[in-house]
Amino acid sequence: MTHLYELTIAQARDLLQRKEISSVALTQAVLDRIAALDPTVQAFLTVTAEAALAEARQADAAIAQGRTASLTGIPVALKDVICTQGVRTTCGSRILENFIPPYDAFVTRRLKDQQAVMVGKLNMDEFAMGSTTEHSAFQVTRNPWNTACIPGGSSGGSAAAVAADMCLASLGSDTGGSIRQPASHCGVVGLKPTYGRVSRFGLVAFASSLDQIGPLGKTVADCAEMLQAIAGHDPADATSAPQPVPDYRAALTRGVHGLRIGIPRSHFESPGLDPQVADTVRRAVATLEALGAVTVEVALPHTDYGVAAYYVIAPCEASSNLARYDGVKYGLRDGGSEELLEMYRATRSRGFGAEVQRRVLLGTYALSAGYYDAYYRKASQVRTLIMRDFAAAFEKCDLIASPVTPTPATPIGAHADDPLAMYLSDMYTLSANLAGIPGISVPCGFSADGLPIGLQLLGSHFQEERLLAAAHAFEQATEYHRKKPVLSL
């Protein structure tokens, strides 16, 4: 028997529309699941139980009156970097521990417009800076498949909550792989849209030219449903693209027959790539070939410079964006300082964790007089080369397939003293952010230890339909997405 919290969006919507279940019952089942499991998984920073049940009652009333939308009555959760009016939004940081936004993010409004039920806000690496969700100021989120392991990051709470059936879907943000990497580690589907496809209004900024909001779901169809709800032009975001929004749900059935899948040999020959991951992803590509796709070799010659370029550009933008947290306007303020500069130092030292401080210092240094040309300008030039590499590759293929991460999820604390090892875990994902292209992670197998492994598919700008179609075809031909972690209640 399927428990209500195990339902996908499509299954739940069908049962709700036929009035075989109520949104209140579904939401209560999810809230009970959170109460039972989250003390172990620690995916949530805030649970909005009372408000969620009120929204569920409104959804049931809408269904009774025939006034439904695409997500009516569906329990979802948001990464705690997305503003929610009247609900605490911390970014996983002490400096915003008590911040309550006076407005909703664009995506929050969109979900409300579709009558979704928000059950809470999800844990993350502080200001989205990290790949493990160990860098939250409040708690360490654990991987539902093995609670001794990381869930990935920075959207680790978003992925873990979906994997553990503590919401039917979630939103995360992806600056260098922060949706796709935790999706891979937690065995769920995660989609990073094209830069500009989804408004960043109300997304607390880490690196403004890289950040993008996207969905995590139990299936590719669930991610398509969530993207349908949040995609579109927003005049309040100058980087939001005025592109029409296609029907992502209709695209799911297109299949992959004749699709050209690019294989970058360099991605499968990296010295840090775990052989289990390489073999699993190769088998996934073979499945796509069996479904009618053809593979072609493509070159991405500047990918090796991507990590270095990213860890100049992102910290530079973080240094600028995080300058606003000075203890003056909002957020934490050190009350024991008598001088202004002393107050700045004390506030930021108390409010920011070690990883955020490291990146702010790196970015400030790279932007300082005498170093700007050597670091930021050079990294921006490399970024242009990476964009050109992808443009040339997509002249030969329709999609690119690669691993998501070089290894399965690692034990908690494994990289505590080695930030470079954590940075290298993004080696296959961050180039998509530098180029602004969309990418998806779909479950494609398991390690010998039973940890999930994801297949990454990348597309050219605004080709989310093609990504979703290929990922859905693979998903329907395999059973990996049906497997569930076993958690003790």
Amino acid at position 66, single letter: G
484 is catalytic: no
Q: How long, in residues, is the chain? A: 489
CA distance 259 to 272: 29
| Cβ neighbours of 465 (radius 10 Å) | 19
178 is catalytic: yes
Q: Which residues does 99 contact at the CB level (< 8 Å), separation at least 6?
A: 88, 89, 90, 330, 331
Q: What is the H or E stretch that residue 62 is in?
A: helix 49-64
Active-site annotation holder among 22, 136, 154, 158: 154
- Token pair recorded at residue 23: 């949104």
- From the list 79, 121, 192, 218, the catalytic residue is 79
Which one from 136, 158, 178, 431 is the annotated catalytic residue? Answer: 178
Q: Extract the tokens encoding 224.
A: 């398509």
The strand ranges marked E within 146-197 are: 169-174, 189-192
Spatial distance between the Cα atoms of 372 and 381, rounded to a whole number of angstroms:
12
Fill in the DSSP letter of residue 188. Answer: S
Residue 232 burial class via C-beta count within 10 angstroms: exposed 0-12, middle 13-18, buried 19 and up: middle
DSSP E strands in 181-321: the ranges are: 189-192, 212-217, 260-264, 294-298
Q: Are 393 and 400 in contact (CB under 8 A)?
A: yes
**Would residue 173 show up in a list of annotated catalytic residues for this protein?**
no
Catalytic residues: 79, 154, 178
